[in-house]
Amino acid sequence: MTKSSGATHTTWTALRTGLRSHLQHPGLAVAFLLATVFQGALQGGMVWTLREVLIGLGKPRSGMGAVILGGALAVLTVWLARSVAVYVALMFAARLASRAELDWMRRVLEKLLTLSVRFFDKSSRGDLVMTAYNDTRSVRQVTIQSGQVVLYGATFAGLLIAAWMMSPKLTLIGLVCAPLSAVPLHWLGKRLTEAALREQRQAVSLQDSYLQLTSGIRVIKVNGGERQIVERARQVSQLLWRSVLRQSQTQGLARLALEGVEGCGLILILIIGGADVAAGRMPWQSLLGLLVAVMAIYNPVLGFLGLYAYVRQAIPELDRLERILQAVPEVQDRPDARPLLDGPASIELRNVSFTYDGQPTVSDISAVVRRGETIGIVGPTGAGKSTLLSLLLRFYDPTEGTVLFDGVDLRMLRHRDVMHLSSIVLQEPFLFVDTIANNIRIGRPEATMDEVVAAARAADVHGPEARGLSGGQKQRICVAAALLKNAPLLFLDEATNSLDSMSEARVQSAIERLMRHRTTFVIAHRFSTLRSADRIIVLDRGRMVGFDSHPRLLATCSTYRTLWASQAAHLNDAMTTSHRQPEVVDG
């Protein structure tokens, strides 16, 4: 479990997130700033140039053709300069935003890799995928939008200067309604954030539906679950559509209100300015230029509205990113953690208990394991076998009691050393989307190809049947990775699962060679995998009800006898044969 500060972004802190992304790349940021300021200034320059050209055309003189040509060239020059500034600003904005997105993706990935296993156990896969991909893309957009603050500010300033030079009085009159724009902005903000939060939850639910479809397609098809999946996705999509529609309606109403504010200012200018033109106090060209300037001034105001709306919508995504980045791993090294340079000579479980979400999963387990022993772990479904393995690997810390390596509390040892000295093969084989060789190298990236091939052959991966990847072949690749890593601590969760009899015999033989002089823990769902076990831990409802060799457990442990008897009709001698046997329990 992780701890979170529960921090919530405001409009300003969200913008500051984007601005910080600019500051991390100062060269690009300065170039973007200069291009943006130049672009905004030229917007005002364009209005002033048009006004001067119109005034020149209104004066009767000879050589009017030259005046027209000169005016056209002036307008063209300003227009081209502004177009170049727009292009340059867009290019630098795209570079800044892309780098910000990559930086945040890297930060989120690195943070996720530091978090404890329980964080992933309790998190929705869809939520994590959305955070790692979609929310980091939102940072890209916030970075772009935060840069627009400079553009809107420069454009507003340039146009305001141009309008002021034409008529300070009418400029103030035209902007007298501008403060009214704060009303729709205030109304807009909270509603957009709430709508975006609803959309986020529904998008995660839809993402989970797709992930369930891809991972459970066989179960869905066999049980005719297509209709239920489609109906659930339809319901979530409908809710998602309504949330998006509400956001659009909210933005549309705010935009309508701002258009009304703009219209109010223009009407006042037209009435008062028209009177000045009629009285000869102002040339009509100045009034026209002023109207154009004030109309253009409201464009950055509308731009600020769009920026505000986007940032408010992005706040839930930024909050979700921040919760991950501020999460504190439950399992982490202490400041005085000791190094672990070799496999321990003894591993002790001393009165170990563990509670998950208020439910005890293992209770008061005590056992001592010596170096080189092979320890089987058996029990009915839900007995706590996987939890015990997780405690030994320190994926979790015990709620009570202690796990000791050579008499030292496991919590006092560097966790990365424990991981480095351990290999694991899970019941459900996991492979990266990569080559088979790189999957085998996962524990030893520096291994040579000859070593990879040797491990693959020992695990029965190398050969013509490895051209496809069946479940058994995936399992063998995982076994090969454990063989190659060659760690002193080995954890096997039914490592020979899904293999045919001949392959199982070869892989089991390779694993037995690997287990020599190594401490091995084997979770057994099938007793045929326990023939090499020195002792066996028997769990029932989280408690250890037996810990001894197979013959002694048959004589002294009723739970073990029951488990053994459940497959007696199908086994001739499961502790000595290497043939595949039916599973005892589903573990």
**What is the tens place of the pLDDT at every residue in 160-214?**
887 888 888 888 887 777 676 666 666 666 676 667 667 767 776 766 666 666 6
d(CA 503, CA 474): 13
Residues 6+ apart with CB under 8 A from 438: 432
**What is the tens place of the pLDDT at every residue in 384-395?**
998 999 999 999
- The CATH number given to 372-385+413-534+546-565 is 3.40.50.300
User: Which pLDDT belongs to residue 310?
Assistant: 72
Domain ranges of the chain: 11-326, 372-385+413-534+546-565
Instruction: Give 294: exposed, middle or buried? Use CB within 10 Å, 0-12, 13-18, 19+.
Output: buried
Average pLDDT over residues 323-337: 87
Average pLDDT over residues 528-546: 88
Give the C-alpha distances (Å, rounded to integers) separating 263 from 165, 256, 260, 270, 276: 22, 11, 5, 10, 20
Residues 6+ apart with CB under 8 A from 354: 360, 361, 362, 384, 387, 391, 396, 398, 399, 400
Asked whether residue 585 carries a pLDDT value surpassing 70, the answer given is no
Instruction: Compute the C-alpha angle 216/217/221, nearest 5°.
Output: 120
- pLDDT: which is higher, 108 or 199: 108
Query: What is the token pair recorded at 61?
Result: 């003189």
* Percentage, residues of the chain above pLDDT 90: 20
CA 472 to chain centre: 31
Q: Do domains 11-326 and 372-385+413-534+546-565 have the same CATH topology?
A: no
d(CA 325, CA 311): 20
User: Which pLDDT belongs to residue 6?
Assistant: 43
Please report which confidence band the pLDDT of residue 341 belongs to, taking 50, 70 and 90 as the band edges. very high
Dmax (CA) of the chain: 122
Please report which confidence band the pLDDT of residue 354 belongs to, taking 50, 70 and 90 as the band edges. very high
Query: What is the token pair recorded at 202?
Result: 């529904």
- Among 177, 166, 175, 178, which Cα is nearest to 44's? 166
User: Which pLDDT belongs to residue 96?
Assistant: 80
User: Which pLDDT belongs to residue 336?
Assistant: 92
Predicted TM-score (pTM) of the model is: 0.67
Within a 10 A sphere around the Cβ of 2, how many other Cβ atoms?
Answer: 16
Contact of 538 with 584, CB cutoff 8 Å: no
User: Which pLDDT belongs to residue 143?
Assistant: 75
d(CA 383, CA 386): 9
Please report which confidence band the pLDDT of residue 353 belongs to, taking 50, 70 and 90 as the band edges. very high
User: Which pLDDT belongs to residue 574?
Assistant: 43
Phi, psi (degrees; rounded to nearest 5) at 536? -130, 130
- Amino acid at the residue 478: C
User: Which pLDDT belongs to residue 450?
Assistant: 92
Summary mean pLDDT of the chain: 78
Range in 7-21, 79-93, 417-431 with the lowest mean pLDDT: 7-21
11-326: CATH topology is: ABC transporter transmembrane region fold (1.20.1560)
